[in-house]
Structures are given as structure tokens and as C-alpha cells.
Amino acid sequence: MLTRSGLGAALTAVALAICGAWWRYEELVVAAICIGVTIALALWSARVPHRARIIRSITTPRTARGDPIRLVYRATNPSRRRSPPAVIVDCCDDAETRVDLPPIARDDRTEVTGSIATRRRGVFPVGPLTVERVDPFGLAIGQRAVPAEAVVLVHPRVHPLHGPYGAMHTVEDEAVIRKAASDPLSGFVSLREYVDGDDPRLIHWPTSARMGTLMLREHVELRRPEFTVVLDAAAAVSNARDFEEMVDVAASVAVHALRSGVDVTVRTTSRAFPGSVRPIEHETHVLDLLTPVEQTSAEHLSSLPEIFHSGIDHTTIVFVTGARGPSSTLTHTDKLSVIRIGEGAAATSGVTLAARDAAEFVQRWRP
């Protein structure tokens, strides 16, 4: 394949040949022939395959959206001659990187690094990997494909949040949620007088004998705070760019709650990616749940009442939606905090916080 210089040289040779034949200038014809021979030699030289063995390794198989994928290329020259310079071309999700590979002495090896930019979430293949060799005149390029299959996971970006805000503040302040229980294995709180209908197994006989009246051990069930982050996947509430910011905000809030010692559940309104109904234990689980989520049409959505059909008694909900959201709501608004993310998002009635993107959301998390 000709480079731009090679294509220019070919056009020049054709022009010289036509002009030389038309005007009968032998010098122009000879110059055209010389340029043609040079281009032919360049094409032959570029077709000679680059014999270096190249192994690609990905140092960041999991990376946040917006961070680069970092690559290392280890090249070995098994031939008896010094390998010529070349260019390693690699790509991922329509983004390309070009890494210069210097000449390698015989039976020697070298290592070069590169990076590919990321712009959206998902699981993407890396490659195909090709090695381009340019002839010494810079007129032609030869390419050789290198088998190198790899996959990277681009997850949402987690922005660090500091301290509680709104509903998060309420959940963090509650060290435990106390609920009266008759289970003798639950937490003991105090003693009280026996009332008809109480479980006789809970009578504390030594204290009853000392007090002269039946005394009952009172227990409560100790629960950790519960926090649910719901992502609005309705296509009508935001565009694709704002949806990526919404996912980053949902991931940031969920990870922040998890680091604060709160039981976190991550849900979405998409029926294809509903999320987890059980509390999440690790931050990577949050990222893995939100990585494949896509916007969907109304017929493939679940409303908030459908998601919480079993009740919301000990759960505080944060609903991350777009500038035109939310797509649904709850009657118990005291349990619901709505966060709007996107261009033109406004904190109207029923909206707790509004921000243009995830970076602005971090600034407004604690005003």
C-alpha cells in the first residue's frame, strides 16, 4: 500500500511520462521511469514481512470510563538479521493507538508501551493487532496481522464522595434499626414487668424472685441500615452522553454507601438488567452490575412500584434519573430521594439534587 508520499510520487511519474511523451522530452520520460522503479522497489521492500514476534499484554484489563487502556508489547527478533523499524497498530471500540517499534538486533528483544482511550462502558475486544513496516524511502507500507485476542472491561467511573448528604445522612446516622423481637437469640435490651400474652420463656426468674413480680427480658432485632440506589434506564429521560454520567453517579453513591458500612442494593428500571435484590458486598460487584446497563424503551421498563412491590420498610431509596426524569415515582416520597443528572437538569419539586454531570454532582453532594 502506498503512503501519501508514494501516491504523490506515482502521480508525478505519470505526469512526467505524459508530458515527456507529448513534448518528446526524453529526460522527463527517464525521470518517470526512475520514479516508477523506485516505487516498485518500495512496494517490494514493504511486502517483506516483519519477522519480530510480538506479544501483547494488557496491564489494565478493568478500567474506569475515561481512563486509558494501558498496553505492553514485547517484541523478539528470532532472525539472523537486524529487524527494521515498524509501527504497531492496535485498536479498541473504534479508538486506535500507534506505537513505534525500534529496530531489534538479532536474537534480541525489546519492550514498548501504548494506551488506548476509552469513552463508554462495556466489554470490548482489543485488536486486531497489526505491524506496519515502511520502506526506507517512505513510499509504501506493508502490514502483517498478529493473532492477539484480548478483552477489556470498561466500568463506570467512581467519583470520591465525602460525608453524607440528604437521605444518605439519615441512613448513616442510624447505627442500627431496632425492632421488637421475641427471639431469645436476638439482642437483649432491658427488663420489664410481665404482661399477659408475653412469651413465658423470656421470664427472668432470678430477677422475678428478687423483685417479687414476674420480670421479662426485652429483646430487639438489630439490623444494619439499608440503602437502595436505583438507576433510571428510560431512554426518554436523557441522551446517551448524559446516561453515562448518570451511571457514574449511581456507581459513586453506591460505592460511597458501601464504604460507609451500609447495606447497599443496586437496581435499575431496565427489565433486561434489573440489578441485585440482595445487598452487595464488594465494590467490584457494583461496577459489574452497572457496566452492561443500557437505555431502553418504555415497554421494557419497570416502574418503582413494581421494583418495590414487597415494601420499602427499612429501605432508603436514591433514584438517579436524567434531566427529563423521573420515569416513575412512589407514593411514599419520604423514602425517596431523586437526583437529576444531565444538561439542563433542574431541582424542581420532588427533586433532591440536580447537576449537569458527575463532576458537578460531586461538588453539590455537600453544599
Say which CATH number the domain at 356 has: 3.40.50.410
CATH of residue 73's domain is: 2.60.40.10
The domain in which residue 337 lies consists of 167-173+224-364
Do 29 and 130 share a domain, yes or no?
Answer: no
Has residue 161 been placed in a domain? no
Do 360 and 228 share a domain, yes or no?
Answer: yes
Do 285 and 195 share a domain, yes or no?
Answer: no
73-96 residue pLDDT tens: 999 998 888 888 889 999 999 899
Query: What is the CB-side half-sphere exposure of residue 117 using CA atoms within 13 A?
Result: 6
Q: What is the pLDDT of residue 225?
A: 59
Terminal CA-CA length for the chain: 59
Residues 86 and 98: their CA atoms lie apart, in Å, by 10
pTM of the model: 0.73
Q: What is the pLDDT of residue 178?
A: 39
Mean pLDDT of 207-235: 80
Residues 223 and 259: their CA atoms lie apart, in Å, by 17
Do 238 and 330 share a domain, yes or no?
Answer: yes
Has residue 330 been placed in a domain? yes
Do 21 and 83 share a domain, yes or no?
Answer: no
DSSP H helices in the chain:
4-23, 26-47, 167-173, 205-211, 240-259, 283-290, 304-307, 358-364
Letter string b/e over residues 235-259, b meaning 16 or more CB atoms within 10 A of that residue's CB: bebbeeebbbbbbbbbbbbbbbbbe
Quote the number of domains for the chain: 4
Has residue 160 been placed in a domain? no
Has residue 183 been placed in a domain? yes
Residues 337 and 258: their CA atoms lie apart, in Å, by 18
Say which range, 218-232, 256-270, 271-285, 322-336, has the weakest mean pLDDT.
218-232
Find out whether the peptide bond into 326 is cis, omega within 30 degrees of 0: yes
Contact 199, 145 (CB under 8 A): no
Do 198 and 234 share a domain, yes or no?
Answer: no
137-158 residue pLDDT tens: 777 777 888 888 899 999 999 9
Mean pLDDT of 252-269: 90
339-360 residue pLDDT tens: 999 999 998 888 989 999 999 9
Has residue 12 been placed in a domain? yes
- Highest mean pLDDT out of 46-50, 204-208, 330-334: 204-208
The residues with which 192 forms a beta bridge, in sequence order, are: 216
Query: What is the CB-side half-sphere exposure of residue 184 using CA atoms within 13 A?
Result: 8
Has residue 162 been placed in a domain? no
Confidence of residue 169 (pLDDT cuts 50, 70, 90): low
Chain-centroid distance, C-alpha 187:
42
Give the torsion through C-alpha atoms of 45, 46, 51, 54, to 10 deg. 160
Residues 225 and 101: their CA atoms lie apart, in Å, by 55
Q: Is 138 left (phi over 0), alpha (psi -120 to 50) or beta?
A: left
Contact 351, 167 (CB under 8 A): no
Site of grid cell 500507534: 98
Do 299 and 331 share a domain, yes or no?
Answer: yes
Mean pLDDT of 97-119: 92
